[in-house]
Structure 1
Amino acid sequence: MGLDSRHTPPSRWGTLFLLTFPPLSWAGNAIVGRLAAGHVPPITLNFIRWVIAGAILACFAGRSLLAHRGALQRHAVMLWVLGALSIASYNALQYLALKTSTPINVTLIGASTPLFLLVLGATVFKEPVKPWHVAGALLCLIGVGFVLLRGEPARLAQLDFVAGDLFMLAATIAWSGYTWLLRKHRPDLPLPAFMLAQILTGLVVSVPFVGWELGVAQESIRWSWRVAAILAYVGTVPSLLAYFSWDRAIARAGAQLPVFFITLTPVFAALLSTLLLSEWPHWYHGVGLVAIGMGILLAQKR
């Protein structure tokens, strides 16, 4: 079906698109995720999201998955780990964080991903850390922080860490670990089959937590056309399309550079808010964008 572009010669513009599309779609995911608050429980939202994505992908990758049974058995442990870190953990923890934490706290913690990537790479994967990687990560953090603090550093003193902040911290660490494992130990499977295997393992890991949320916590879904539209979006764009782009971006650019592009997510969120919510950007958004751009350029220095 042309979904696996592993043997396509990479182009600079194609790689730039693959690096940019995920943060753009995840910015949209943040907006609809906020719209879902109070209508769909967070862990259940994540579970339904991947059920939809898995059902769609199975139409294209089901036969490929069966044809690679041998590879699935050889890489079973890694597939379970990758599915748990990505499908079952990151977005579920992010949705859960927004129940008790503020968006500014959650986004600031998520913006620290480049630093966690550097730490995990150096400590776990023995990856050398260059000075420009550290400088690029700090510039990205400064840019994102400037946007989120609205150009007023004094707002930093008003931040309070609550349970949701710890959930987002766990999500950030999980995503950093997933990115490194994807770069270092990616199973030799065609991309559609690999993605479907991750979804299936992640859903299995998620089942007990969904059962707890709907049963013990007694939360429920308030069905409406708005909820249906939200589920349709999160089950396709930020799930299938963004994850395919993320996998290809890491294959082309390595594990470090793509994570720096995640720091563009708040910038895209501001632009989407202007278009969809009539919230116009301010001068500090421009300053933050410049800092983030400089950080990305510095991080990719060879």
Structure 2
Amino acid sequence: MHMRLTPTSALLLTLPPLLWAGNAVVGRLISDLVSPMTLNFLRWVLAFALLLPLAGKVLRPNSLLWPHWRRFSLLGLLSVGAYNALLYLALTTSTPINVTLVGSSMPVWMLLIGRLFFGVLISRRQWLGAALSISGVMLVLSRGQLELLLQVHLVPGDLYILLASACWAYYSWMLAHPTTEPQTIRTDWSAFLLAQVAFGLAWSGLFAGSEWAIGQAHISWGWPLAGALVFIAVGPALMAFRAWGAGVARAGPAAAGFFSNLTPLFTALLSTAFLGDTPKLYHVLAFILIVGGIVVSSRR
């Protein structure tokens, strides 16, 4: 399968990090209003309701989906069930700088999982791209001051985001290797996403139920939570998943992994925007390094 990075695929892969940065900011803002597993479940219930009128036929008893339920169940677990729940959990158990620092390991996970499970060789150029991209993330996180990075202490909660990154990397490789998926589902983005969300909802419901069962759940209904739910269901869920799936199909998972490192940069920019700050020189330098990593890794 010949894949290359074009301006269109670059745009498709840039939109999700921007929306996911918004997701991280909103997730932190409402962490006092709702517990992480419950937030993840509510988000996908709303996304499911929005997708149903577009692609409800994929869930009919005679649909071609059901012979492939194992694959869609795994796709739903890795993305809807595990990745998002672990991200929200990480935002409540670790500091934002740690979450983005550990999350910047995504390109490395992409390369390693591609090598281990899908037999894709890693070039020196890709390792160099990974190093450039991660150094850009470090620059953002240290705010241009190396001593700030040296003060970072990893805690057990950081394992959540490490696990989330591995889940997302494997999910992205699965997207690029359709195996026996029915073409009618694969080529209809809403049907393909609804098939994943339907199974993912079962997983996230299980996790949310466990959260309530052990007494760790809480929820405070009101307009702030309702507004946040609408945003994270439409933007970081539906729009981002749609764009990411299309981008991975065009450019390949290894190249796509580097775009995920735009998330901390966008998070920093959104945070400064909300705080009324102006972007600093290190933001510009970080952007050059991250984009440089993308260019270096994706060149033939």
- TM-score scaled by length of structure 1: 0.92
**Alignment of 1:103 onto 2:101:** no
Q: Which of 253, 257, 264 is the aligned partner of 2:251?
A: 253
Q: Give the whole-Å Cα distance in 1 for the aligned partners of 2:259 and 2:121.
A: 20
Aligned to 2:192: 194
Q: How does 1:208-227 map to 2 (within 5 A)?
A: 208-227=206-225
- Residue identity opposite 1:27 in structure 2: A
Q: Which of 278, 284, 295 is the aligned partner of 1:297?
A: 295
Q: How does 1:274-293 map to 2 (within 5 A)?
A: 274-293=272-291
Q: How does 1:35-184 map to 2 (within 5 A)?
A: 35-66=29-60, 69-70=63-64, 72-184=65-177
Q: Give the whole-Å Cα distance in 1 for the aligned partners of 2:261 and 2:5.
A: 23
Aligned to 1:14: 8
Whether the aligned pair in 2 keeps the contact of 1:261 and 1:296 (CA below 8 Å) is yes
- Residue identity opposite 2:20 in structure 1: W
Change (3 A) 1:97 1:134: same
Q: Give the whole-Å Cα distance in 2 for the aligned partners of 1:294 and 1:73.
A: 43
CA drift of 1:163 comes to: 2.3
Equivalent position SS for 2:133: helix
Q: State percent identity of aligned pairs.
A: 42
Deviates more, 1:177-186 or 1:134-143: 177-186
CA drift of 1:221 comes to: 0.5
Deviations, residues 145-179 of structure 1 (Å, cap 9, x unaligned): 11101122222332222121011111011001111
Deviations, residues 73-99 of structure 1 (Å, cap 9, x unaligned): 232111010100000011110110121
CA drift of 1:192 comes to: 1.2
Aligned to 2:268: 270
**Alignment of 1:25 onto 2:23:** no
Whether the aligned pair in 1 keeps the contact of 2:35 and 2:216 (CA below 8 Å) is no
- Residue identity opposite 2:174 in structure 1: L
Q: How many residues align?
A: 292
Unaligned stretches of 5+ in structure 2?
Answer: none
- Residue identity opposite 1:235 in structure 2: A
- Residue identity opposite 2:233 in structure 1: G
Q: Give the whole-Å Cα distance in 2 for the aligned partners of 1:73 and 1:164.
A: 36
Change (3 A) 1:88 1:15: same
Change (3 A) 1:199 1:134: same
Q: Give the whole-Å Cα distance in 2 for the aligned partners of 1:59 and 1:277.
A: 39
- Residue identity opposite 2:223 in structure 1: W
CA drift of 1:223 comes to: 1.2
CA drift of 1:37 comes to: 1.0
Change (3 A) 1:199 1:140: same
Q: Which of 241, 246, 249 is the aligned partner of 1:243?
A: 241
Equivalent position SS for 1:161: coil
- Residue identity opposite 1:35 in structure 2: L
Whether the aligned pair in 1 keeps the contact of 2:129 and 2:296 (CA below 8 Å) is yes
RMSD over equivalenced CA pairs, Å: 1.7
- Residue identity opposite 2:215 in structure 1: A
Q: Give the whole-Å Cα distance in 2 for the aligned partners of 1:154 and 1:84.
A: 38
Aligned to 1:205: 203
Deviations, residues 232-289 of structure 1 (Å, cap 9, x unaligned): 1011110001100011001111111111111111222222223333133222112111
Whether the aligned pair in 1 keeps the contact of 2:125 and 2:296 (CA below 8 Å) is yes
Equivalent position SS for 1:127: coil
Unaligned stretches of 5+ in structure 1?
Answer: 1-9
Deviates more, 1:272-281 or 1:37-46: 272-281
Whether the aligned pair in 2 keeps the contact of 1:273 and 1:280 (CA below 8 Å) is no
- Residue identity opposite 2:160 in structure 1: F
- Residue identity opposite 1:241 in structure 2: M
Q: Give the whole-Å Cα distance in 2 for the aligned partners of 1:30 and 1:11.
A: 27
Q: Give the whole-Å Cα distance in 1 for the aligned partners of 2:31 and 2:199.
A: 26
Q: Give the whole-Å Cα distance in 2 for the aligned partners of 1:47 and 1:63.
A: 23
Runs of 4 or more consecutive aligned structure 1 residues displaced over 4 Å after TM superposition: none
- TM-score scaled by length of structure 2: 0.93
CA drift of 1:21 comes to: 0.6
- Residue identity opposite 2:195 in structure 1: A
Change (3 A) 1:287 1:205: same
- Residue identity opposite 1:131 in structure 2: R
Whether the aligned pair in 1 keeps the contact of 2:5 and 2:250 (CA below 8 Å) is no
Deviations, residues 100-129 of structure 1 (Å, cap 9, x unaligned): 211111101111100011111111111011
